[in-house]
Chains A and B, each alone.
Chain A
Amino acid sequence: MTETIQKKLPGDFAIWIFIYAELMVFAIFFISYAVTRSNHVELFNESQQLLNRTAGMANTVALITSSWFVVNAVHAIKAGRELLSARWLGGALVMGGLFLAIKIFEFYTKSVEGITLSTNTFYMFYLSLTFFHFLHVVLGMVILSVVLINMRKGKYSAHETTGVETGASYWHMVDLVWIILFPLIYLIR
């Protein structure tokens, strides 16, 4: 335990520069949404009413569960259990895939309803913010896949966990951002 307490940020330090930069970009998006909403409250509330909250909730559950699986993967590799760690990572990727599938379904139904970026200000924010986040889920899954491939090649062990922690840290950032995005865009009215 002493060893764990003594450590710095988990994973490679470079990923944290990237994570902090990403957080700043999302902060600007979130605050812009809230400020713009204050000038178009009725429009935002009416448009928000048409969103699929069940899909949004299911996606929150998928990402949170995926993040939890990744935590278990990190614990497993720290205990030297590579096969178990690989299984948790695989599970996390499945949950990430579920998130993408639900989001594509949402984008598809909105497009069938004739909703585009130019429909109104609310949908401009809804579509661009969720699509921007979607791209981060894709990048996070690419990173986790690379970690999984390296794990299969035997590159990680109880003494070499940096790569796994680096991927995990990025993935938790993607989860963290969604945890604010979901209530902000789907629920708060």
Chain B
Amino acid sequence: MSETKRVFFIWAILIILTVVGYIMGERGMSGTLALTILLSAALIKSQLVISYFMEMRYANTRLKWIPTIWLLLVLSAIAIAIAA
């Protein structure tokens, strides 16, 4: 797959996950399942942006893991604070 097509597919996945979250919000969904889905969608979307848009997957330095570590720490803290 060409790089142009690949980033187009990434964009499409990001948009689909955004719309899914929006529909859940409009339906006022709450609870553990909704929280899990919304945070998982945020995790997938963010990591796609980090890997494919920020091009961290091409970087060959350990510093490339900082955004991913940041993401995991932030989402874990949010999950703990909200689920508790």
On A, residues with C-beta under 8 Å from B are 4-10, 16, 20, 23-24, 27, 30-31, 34-35, 37-38, 45, 49, 53-54, 56-57, 60-61, 64-65, 67-68, 70-72, 74-75, 169, 172-173, 175-176, 179-180, 182-184, 186-189
Least Cβ–Cβ distance between A133 and chain B, in angstroms? 14
Question: Given A61-B18, A176-B46, do A37 and B11 touch, yes or no (CB 8 Å)?
Answer: no
With A61-B18, A179-B14, A179-B42 known, 16 other A-B pairs at CB within 8 A are: A6-B60, A8-B61, A27-B73, A31-B77, A34-B77, A49-B28, A61-B15, A64-B14, A65-B11, A68-B8, A68-B11, A175-B53, A176-B46, A180-B75, A183-B25, A188-B34
Q: Which residues of B contact A54 (CB under 8 A)?
A: 22
Least Cβ–Cβ distance between B52 and chain A, in angstroms? 7
* Contact yes or no, B42 A183, CB < 8 A: yes
Q: How many A-B residue pairs have CB under 8 A?
A: 134
- Majority DSSP secondary structure for residues of A touching B: helix
Q: Which residues of A contact B21 (CB under 8 A)?
A: 57, 182-183, 187
Encode contact with A along B21-61: 1 for CB under 8 Å, 0 otherwise. Answer: 11011101110001100110110011001101111101111
* Contact yes or no, B73 A37, CB < 8 A: no
Q: Which residues of B contact A10 (CB under 8 A)?
A: 54-55, 58-59
* Contact yes or no, A71 B60, CB < 8 A: no
Give the interface size bracket for B toward A. Answer: 35 or more
Which of B15, B25, B28 makes the CB contact (< 8 A) with A64? B15
Q: Complex: how many Å from CA A60 to CA B19?
A: 9
Q: Which residues of A contact B74 (CB under 8 A)?
A: 27, 30-31, 180
Q: Complex: how many Å from CA A4 to CA B73?
A: 29
* Contact yes or no, B49 A176, CB < 8 A: yes
Least Cβ–Cβ distance between A42 and chain B, in angstroms? 12
Least Cβ–Cβ distance between A13 and chain B, in angstroms? 9
